Amino acid sequence: MELKQIYTPIQKDLDKVKDTIKSISLIDYKWLSEQLSYIVSETGKGIRPALTLISGKLFHYDLNYLMPMAVSVELMHTATLVHDDAIDKALTRRGQETINSRWGDEIAILMGDFLFAKAGEFVADTQTPRVIKLFSQTLGIISSGEIGQFRGAYNINQDRESYFQRIYRKTGSLFSLSTQSGAILGKAPEAAVTIMREYADNLGIAFQIVDDILDFTSTEEALGKPVGSDLRQGTLTLPAIFIIERNPRDNPVKRFFASRDKRDAEEAIDTVRNSGVIKECYKIAGEYCEKACRNLKVLPQNDSRQALYDLAKFVISQGK
């Protein structure tokens, strides 16, 4: 099933989220306005704002609060990408030049800050201190997680557990903010807020595992950046961890981390692509998706609940 189909219950409102995000470029400062247009022109899949809208629609669908929240989670995501690209010295993102590559790290830092500020303005419009606090806590989790990832670069001694913790911080936490805020703003009962949190924690981890798989198995064209970027930057993801687990003493990942030689990187990437680890990784992602959906059945039965099931299926179908 395509995302477009899954989004049916909220597609109209998701389009409004995207229009609102585009409108943040309408400011007096011409140069900045043009750069903001550039940043928001290539939007991603919109999974985070979709999660907020769907989570709200499961309960009480009040767009006065859900709309700014959905805009806010997507802007926070965009801001973190701008900073991440500067940190990773990434040249392209979604097929276009990154801000750091186009204007330098200095502008990328400030542009990310500006986007955080805009995200903060929208979350303030929810008028709901609980979700505003969650929003800030999430940014804290994401940035401390990124600090851990950066500090752990080229460190071969990272196991599955540390990987799962890391991708929860990196991706699960923002998925979790997206659904929890939707449920809270939708006046869901507390038990349902918890179910939505558990759904998103696990869906986010599954999503990131698949993203990390695709970084190896996809094409540069589809990724919008070079294949194997994570490994090349010294970031260990699940497929590489599996290669290390199979032969801890000597393996191409270990050799590349030791030499940091380009040819060793190619060999490590080839090994990951041509071994059975990819299948194992999909299996684990699938388990997280099942865990995500485990408690959904106690929620009200409607189109939105079905969309959550379908989204979980979509996540693990990518690249298969």
Contact set with a second copy (CB under 8 A): 27, 29, 31-32, 80, 83, 86-87, 105-107, 109-114, 116-121, 123-129, 132-133, 135-140, 142-144, 146-148, 150-151
Query: Tokens 């959906």 label which residue?
Result: 293
Among 228, 268, 229, smallest CA distance to 251 is for 268
Among 51, 45, 12, 296, smallest CA distance to 182 is for 51
CB of 116 to a second copy, least distance (A): 6
Q: How far is CA 80 from CA 76, 151, 185, in A?
A: 6, 17, 24
CB of 27 to a second copy, least distance (A): 8
CB of 281 to a second copy, least distance (A): 27
Q: Which is nearer to a second copy, 116 or 207 (CB)?
A: 116
Half-sphere exposure of 233 (CA within 13 A, CB side): 21
Q: Which is nearer to a second copy, 121 or 266 (CB)?
A: 121
CB of 307 to a second copy, least distance (A): 29
Which residues lie closer than 8 Å to 179 by C-beta, 6 or more apart?
Answer: 51, 52, 54, 55, 196, 197, 199, 200
Tokens of residue 307, six digits = 């969309």
Q: Which is nearer to a second copy, 34 or 245 (CB)?
A: 34
d(CA 172, CA 142): 9
Give φ, ψ of 156 to 5 degrees: -75, -20
CB of 150 to a second copy, least distance (A): 5
Q: Which is nearer to a second copy, 91 or 110 (CB)?
A: 110
Q: Which is nearer to a second copy, 138 or 217 (CB)?
A: 138
Q: Which is nearer to a second copy, 95 or 104 (CB)?
A: 104
Query: Are 100 and 86 contacting, i.e. CB atoms less than 8 angstroms apart?
Result: yes
CB of 87 to a second copy, least distance (A): 4
